[in-house]
C-alpha cells in the first residue's frame, strides 16, 4: 500500500481565467496561493478502510450542490495513482486530488460561480469537513 492516508480537499478552479484562456491554463486556474485547501486532518489508510465507499459533499452558503459517493468516481484511487505514476515520479508526502463529483457550478443552467463573501463547506465521510470563505483576488 502506497497511500499514507486521506483528507478532505477542495480542488478550487478559477473559471473566468480558465474560460478566458480556452481551458488551456489549468495550472494558473487552479494554483493561486489560497486554492486547494486540505484538511482538517489526515486519516491513515488503515482507519479509512475502502476509500471507494465514502460519501462526499459540498455546500455554498448552506446550499448543497454536490453529494455523491467515491464509488461513483470515474477512476478509483488505485487507478489514479497507477496512471499518474506512469508519467510523474511520486514521492512520500505528495498530495493527489481525485477530481470532483457532479454538481459543479459551470455545468448548471445558468452557471453558478463563487463570489467574494461566499462560504464553501465540504466534507468526506470519516475524514472531516472544512469551511473556506471566498475573498476577492488582489492582483
Contact (CB, 8 A) for 48 and 126:
yes
Render pLDDT for 44-55 as a digit per residue (tens, 0 to 9).
Answer: 999 998 999 999
pLDDT of residue 29: 64
Render pLDDT for 93-127 as a digit per residue (tens, 0 to 9).
Answer: 999 988 777 777 777 788 888 899 999 999 999 99
Q: What is the C-alpha separation between 85 and 104, in angstroms, rounded? A: 27
All cell numbers assigned to 107? 455545468
Rounded to 5 degrees, what are φ and ψ at 47?
-80, -30
Range of the domain at 65: 5-133
Buried b (16+ CB within 10 A) or exposed e, 97-126: ebebbeeeeeeeeeebebeeeeebbbbbee
Is residue 138 a part of any domain in this protein? Answer: no
Is residue 139 a part of any domain in this protein? Answer: no
Q: What is the C-alpha separation between 52 and 49, in angstroms, rounded? A: 9
What CATH number is associated with residue 114?
3.90.850.10
User: How many separate domains does the chain show?
Assistant: 1
List all residues 6 or more positions away from 122 whose beta carbon is below 8 Å from its beta carbon. 8, 10, 56, 57, 58, 59, 66, 129, 130
The rounded mean pLDDT for the chain is 86
pLDDT of residue 105: 73
Q: Report pTM.
A: 0.81
Amino acid at each position: 500500500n502506497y497511500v499514507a492516508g486521506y483528507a478532505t480537499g477542495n480542488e478550487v478552479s478559477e473559471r473566468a481565467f480558465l474560460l478566458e484562456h480556452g481551458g488551456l491554463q489549468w495550472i494558473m486556474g487552479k494554483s493561486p496561493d489560497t486554492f486547494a485547501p486540505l484538511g482538517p486532518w489526515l486519516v491513515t489508510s488503515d482507519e479509512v478502510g475502502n476509500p471507494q465507499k465514502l460519501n462526499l459533499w459540498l455546500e455554498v452558503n448552506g446550499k448543497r450542490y454536490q453529494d455523491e459517493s467515491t464509488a461513483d468516481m470515474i477512476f478509483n484511487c488505485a487507478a489514479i495513482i497507477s496512471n499518474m505514476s506512469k508519467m510523474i515520479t511520486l514521492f512520500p508526502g505528495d498530495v493527489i486530488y481525485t477530481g470532483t463529483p457532479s454538481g459543479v457550478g459551470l455545468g448548471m443552467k445558468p452557471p453558478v460561480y463563487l463570489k467574494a463573501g461566499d462560504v464553501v463547506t465540504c466534507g468526506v465521510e470519516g475524514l472531516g469537513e472544512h469551511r473556506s470563505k471566498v475573498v476577492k483576488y488582489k492582483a
